[in-house]
Amino acid sequence: MQRIIDFIETELQILEAVWSYRIRSFVLLIAAFVVPSVVALVGLQMIATSPLLGLAQSMGALFPVLTLVLMLKLLSLAVHEYLKDRAAMLRF
């Protein structure tokens, strides 16, 4: 009876670990869309209200590209974490 209880406890710990990884990959996926959008909005607003005259012209076209790169980086991290979670689920 004790072996069965130990086995169930071990399986629940493994299940909890896999779910925590899955939540982490889900959070990274959400962050991949939210963080670059917020950075773009705040950054473009800061550039627009800057006292430097040429800053809006020079950084205005570059800033959306930088936020796109940030989004792609966060998406690649989310995919990487998801694949690790999936491998962990298949291993157990």
pLDDT in tens, the chain (92 residues): 889 988 888 767 765 665 676 777 778 888 999 999 898 888 888 888 878 777 777 777 788 888 999 999 999 998 888 778 777 776 76
pLDDT at 92: 62
Cα-Cα-Cα-Cα dihedral of 57, 58, 59, 62, to 10°? Answer: 110
Full-prediction pTM beyond 0.75? no
What pLDDT is recorded for position 14? 60
Q: Within 10 Å of residue 51's Cβ, how many Cβ atoms?
A: 5
Enter the tokens of residue 29. 């996926």
Burial class (CB in 10 A: 0-12, 13-18, 19+), 14: middle
pLDDT at residue number 46: 83
